[in-house]
């Protein structure tokens, strides 16, 4: 179930990153919102990983090279602008993909039909913050611009075909670019230029090639579970 792992790992890893915000958000309302999104994603991850096997074995006992998530999802939180840029790029992708999967008849249609409602909220949240930060103060504009540029090189990977997922990848990519360009335009932000994948790593995360911070993230996530082999919690 390569496809279930790919989608499940995206949700698991991004949920973990958002969980790191707990107690650190700029306003209380964002404590609630970021945790809410993290919980939705964790719910999706549990469903998808369970399609592929045992959710806890898959989450806690695989090593870095066996994870199939996008490199975008594993990127460190950075400042609030980086977190929002990552959310905008990812949730736009997820919304378009899940809408397409929900309309089909594949094994992911039931999950996608439920998840697309959550993901629409996530995208709206990211869009609203992109507008506030991009078209807010000079400082916030500059931070948001930098964040969008820094993460741009991870966006191409999202549209590499995933084995077992029947989707119009080129069409998804086109609609993704239109949607993101529209939001950034309204936020008075330039659409980043330059390559959308790293020079040597096209399709990397899906093949188990990750960025350096990911290993540390897994070390923290898996430590307790691995310290008590066979225990139940």
- Segment lying near another protein (by CB under 8 A), choices 35-43, 68-76, 94-102, 200-208: 35-43
Q: Which residues contact 139 (CB under 8 A, 6 or more apart)?
A: none
Centre a 10 Å sphere on the Cβ of residue 60 and count the other Cβ atoms it contains: 15
Q: Is 79 in the site for another protein (CB under 8 A)?
A: yes
Q: Which residue has the tokens 């993901």?
A: 119
- Segment lying near another protein (by CB under 8 A), choices 42-50, 102-110, 151-159, 193-201: 42-50
| Residue nearer to another protein on the CB measure, 19 or 198 | 19
Q: Is 181 in the site for another protein (CB under 8 A)?
A: no
Long-range contacts (CB closer than 8 Å, 24 or more residues apart) made by 52-60:
52/1, 52/4, 52/5, 52/8, 53/1, 56/225, 58/5, 58/8, 59/12, 59/221, 59/222, 60/221, 60/222, 60/225, 60/226
Out of 2, 61, 137, 213, name the contact with another protein by CB under 8 A.
137
Residues of this chain that interact with another protein (CB under 8 A) are 12, 16, 19-20, 22-32, 35-36, 38-39, 42-43, 45-46, 49, 55-56, 59-60, 79-80, 131-133, 135-137, 139-140, 143, 220-221, 223-225, 228, 230-233
């Amino acid at each position: 179930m390569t496809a279930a792992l790919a989608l499940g790992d995206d949700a698991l890893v991004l949920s973990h990153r958002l969980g790191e915000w707990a107690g650190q958000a700029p306003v209380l309302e964002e404590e609630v919102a970021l945790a809410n999104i993290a919980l939705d994603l964790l719910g999706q991850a549990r469903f998808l990983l369970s399609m592929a096997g045992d959710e806890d074995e898959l989450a806690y006992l695989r090593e870095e090279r066996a994870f199939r998530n996008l490199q975008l999802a594993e990127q460190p939180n950075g400042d609030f602008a980086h977190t929002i840029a990552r959310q905008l790029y990812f949730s736009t992708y997820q919304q378009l993909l899940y809408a397409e999967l929900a309309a089909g008849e594949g094994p992911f249609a039931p999950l996608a039909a439920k998840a697309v409602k959550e993901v629409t909220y996530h995208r709206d949240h990211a869009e609203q913050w992109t507008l506030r930060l991009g078209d807010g103060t000079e400082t916030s504009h500059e931070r948001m611009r930098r964040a969008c540029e820094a993460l741009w090189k991870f966006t191409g990977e999202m549209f590499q075909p995933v084995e077992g997922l029947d989707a119009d990848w080129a069409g998804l990519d086109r609609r993704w670019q239109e949607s993101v360009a529209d939001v950034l335009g309204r936020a008075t932000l330039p659409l980043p230029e330059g390559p959308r994948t790293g020079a040597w790593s096209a399709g990397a995360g899906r093949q188990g090639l990750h960025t350096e911070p990911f290993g540390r993230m897994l070390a923290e996530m898996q430590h307790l579970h691995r310290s008590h082999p066979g225990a139940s919690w």
